[in-house]
Amino acid sequence: MATRIVRVDPELKDLIPGFLNNRRQDALTIRAALAQEDMETVRILGHSMKGCGGGYGFNALSELGGILERGAQNRDSEAITNAVDELQAYLEQVEIIYD
Amino acid sequence: MAEPTKSMQYRVLLVDDDRDMISLLSSWLKDAGFEVDPVMSGSEAIARIDVFRPHLVITDLVMQGMDGMTLLSKIHRQNPLMPVIMLSGKAQIADAVKAMHLGIAEFLTKPLTKDELVARVRYTLRLAAGESDSGANFGKEIIYRSEKITQLLEQAKLLAATDVTILITGATGTGKEALAKAIHEGSARKDQPFVAINCAAIPEQLLESELFGHEKGAFTGAQTKHEGLFQAANKGTILLDEVGDMPLSLQVKLLRVLQDFAVRPVGSVRGIPVNVRVISATNTDLEQGVKSSRFREDLYYRLNVVPLHLPPLGERREDIQPLLNHFLKRVGQRDNKKRKRFAPEAVEYLASAPWPGNIRQLMNVVELCCALTNTDIIPLAMAQKALRDQPAHVQTLKDAKEDFERSYLVSVLRVTNGHVSHAARLAGRNRTEFYKLLKQHHIEPEEFRTSRQATEED
Ligand SMILES: Nc1ncnc2c1ncn2[C@@H]1O[C@H](COP(=O)(O)OP(=O)(O)OP(=O)(O)O)[C@@H](O)[C@H]1O
Ligand SMILES: [Mg+2]
């Protein structure tokens, strides 16, 4: 992932902590779903991450969402695992500047 | 449209089952000055509509429980003019296209930005307010003064901004085709084709090929591939005139086209996608047709998403005088002559006359009066005579036969791409006879040829 510094519209400031928390929750749900080979759940979560990540300013999350969605469609557990690892690392490290 | 201000704050009902998406979109819209009511399901949305009275609904396409398409059709059953923006992923665009055809809906693909969303919302609200670019000029060919037509045109103008399927009803000569044309001209499709087909004037075997096209060799006489009118109308509007007279065997095929937005030419196994706005017109009572099984009920509902009714001239007599003036002026201009006028008693007489043939009859009466009067003022006696001689609602048998023959010749030529020998064979005539018929009707077979065939044969 290229940059972990993200600029976010100040008007969204109140929403960001909740948004990022939901993504942490997603990462856990995806791992659990993967263990059960529940690809549908992975696909849905990936799809909605793709849909709103960029809107909140996190293009990297949109990208990861797309990888998860595609991974689920292809039943590619390895790609999904890699993407979840990346997602969690990203959520640990991301820094936000409101401007 | 003025920017939404506090005095006129637009209300947007937002429907999405994704909490983060809803927060994001609400935040964007509120920041742009809209009043937003976010709900997380289609059923909540339905419940909120009457209470919140939104100017616009934005809904996600794919949702748990009730999906966006179902929500859309439920909304439009209650509020046919409610603008709806449907959000969808790229992969679901095919569904979104259907949504556009289902009613007043547009789609916006995710991911999207704040600017995109806000711009689209403003644009859609502006269209809904009837302030489209051509709004001011809407229906300028249609002459009227009555309250009934004023209201009808207001509604038609809103509908023109959408792709909603319309059924125009009204007696003969009330202006159904004129209205359909005005809707097309007032729409975003105005620079694309407007294709009208009279479903009653074409024999059953040819109508299918006319509408949907055929492959080479699909039937005897089909020596070349033929593109149907649905394809010819692609990106534009098709008017299915006298749709009530469409044979049952074709009704089911038309229904399929409206469901799939694809036509299957005769003799082809493949559907060809088409993007066509469908307006149909009829002077028969389609509901009665459904009751007596002459018209398919499912097709009736597909076509009759929004009904527009043109009242007969006798129910809007205020329109008579402006129409008389309009046609007098037109005849004068056309013939390069001084414009004639009706004597006051003649106007009074015409304003209270029965007009079974409606505006077409009135137009013919004006023509006749102008042709037969040498003075500037058309006297009462002339108006009376013209009306007697123009029973308009019944064509003479000769005229009716000629009309039919002409439509028939045109369709066989279209279907055969202008190949006279093929057309003659289809029509069961020899070439010489067929040429003679064409000549009588001043029809040029060359006009029906595609460039590739122009050099072959004949
Ligand atoms: N309000 C109007 N103002 C001016 N011209 C009109 C108006 N209404 C109809 N006309 C003209 O009257 C003629 C008949 O109208 P049109 O062909 O649209 O009627 P119609 O309802 O389709 O009739 P039919 O059922 O016989 O096909 C056309 O030439 C049309 O341009
Ligand atoms: Mg007509």
Task: Give residue B429's identity as a one-letter amino acid code.
Answer: R
Chain A residues with CB under 8 Å of a chain B CB are 9, 11-12, 15, 18-19, 22, 47-48, 50-56, 62
Sign of CA dihedral A72, A78, A80, A83: negative
Tell me which of A58-72, B2-16, B249-263 is least confident.
B2-16
Residue A5 maps to a domain: no
Tokens encoding B230 = 């649905």
ipTM, interface predicted TM-score of the complex: 0.75
B320-365 pLDDT, tens per residue? Answer: 999 999 999 999 988 888 899 999 889 989 998 988 889 999 999 9
* Residue B198 alpha carbon to ligand 2 centre in Å: 8
Q: Report residues near ion ligand 2: CB below 5 Å.
A: B 177
Cβ B187 vs Cβ B160: under 8 Å: yes
Q: Which helix (H) or strand (E) holds A95?
A: strand A95-98
Residue A6 maps to a domain: no
Residue A3 maps to a domain: no
Q: Is the pLDDT of residue B38 over 60?
A: yes
Adjacent-strand bridge partners of A8:
A98
* Residue B245 alpha carbon to ligand 2 centre in Å: 13
Cβ of A51 and B21 within 8 Å? yes
Q: Which has the higher per-residue pLDDT, B297 or B428?
A: B297
3-class DSSP state of B361: helix
* Residue B172 alpha carbon to ligand 1 centre in Å: 8
pLDDT of residue B202: 81
Task: Give residue B268's identity as a one-letter amino acid code.
Answer: S
pLDDT of residue B453: 43
Cβ of A19 and B113 within 8 Å? no
- Out of B62, B89, B111, the one facing A55 most closely (by C-beta) is B111
Burial grade of B67 (CB within 10 A; 0-12, 13-18, 19 or more): middle
Domains, chain B, with CATH or none: 11-128 (3.40.50.2300), 140-309 (3.40.50.300), 313-389 (1.10.8.60), 397-448 (1.10.10)
pLDDT of residue A65: 94
Cβ of B111 and A48 within 8 Å? no
Q: In whole angstroms, give the CA distance from residue B247 to residue B232.
A: 22
Candidates B20, B25, B40, partner chain A, best to mutate (most A CBs within 10 A):
B20
State phi, psi for B283 to the nearest 5 degrees: -110, 10
Cβ B80 vs Cβ B164: under 8 Å: yes
Cβ of A15 and B113 within 8 Å? no
Report the Cα B338 to chain-centroid distance in Å.
36
- Out of B23, B25, B111, the one facing A54 most closely (by C-beta) is B111
Residue A74 maps to a domain: yes
Question: What is the position in ligand 1's atom list of the atom closest to the CA of B149?
Answer: 1
Contact list, A48 vs chain B (CB under 8 Å): 18, 20-21
- Determine if ligand 1 sits within 6 Å of the CB of residue B324: no
pTM value?
A: 0.59
- Determine if ligand 1 sits within 6 Å of the CB of residue B244: no
Q: What's the total number of domains in chain A?
A: 1
Residue A7 maps to a domain: no
Residues of the domain holding A47: 12-98
Q: In whole angstroms, give the CA distance from residue B222 to residue A79.
A: 54
Q: How far is CA B382 from CA B22, B319, B354, in A?
A: 71, 21, 16
pLDDT of residue B136: 64
Cβ B267 vs Cβ B307: under 8 Å: no
Question: What is the position in ligand 1's atom list of the atom closest to the CA of B144?
Answer: 1
Q: How far is CA B397 from CA B168, B195, B402, in A?
A: 27, 27, 8
Residue A72 falls in which region: left (phi positive, over 0), alpha (psi -120 to 50) or beta: alpha
Q: In whole angstroms, give the CA distance from residue B175 to residue B178.
A: 5
Q: In whole angstroms, give the CA distance from residue A44 to residue A62.
A: 13
pLDDT of residue B338: 87
The 3-state secondary structure of B388-420 reads HHCCCCCCCHHHHHHHHHHHHHHHHHHHCCCCH
What is the arithmetic mean of pLDDT over B283-305?
93
3-class DSSP state of B437: helix
Adjacent-strand bridge partners of B169:
B282, B309
Cβ B142 vs Cβ B359: under 8 Å: no
3-class DSSP state of B188: coil
Ligand 1, from B144, B146, B148, B177: best to mutate by most atoms within 8 Å of Cβ? B177
Q: In whole angstroms, give the CA distance from residue B446 to residue B458.
A: 10
Q: In whole angstroms, give the CA distance from residue B211 to residue B305.
A: 21
Average pLDDT, chain B: 85
**Does the bond joining B111 to the residue before it have cis omega, within 30 degrees of 0?**
yes
Tell me which of A5-14, B119-128, B192-201, B420-429 is least confident.
B119-128
Q: How far is CA B89 from CA A60, B8, B65, B175, in A?
A: 18, 32, 18, 42
What is the arithmetic mean of pLDDT over B368-387?
91
pLDDT of residue B92: 65
Contact list, B110 vs chain A (CB under 8 Å): 50-52
Q: Is the pLDDT of residue B51 over 90?
A: no
B150-167 pLDDT, tens per residue? Answer: 889 988 998 998 888 999
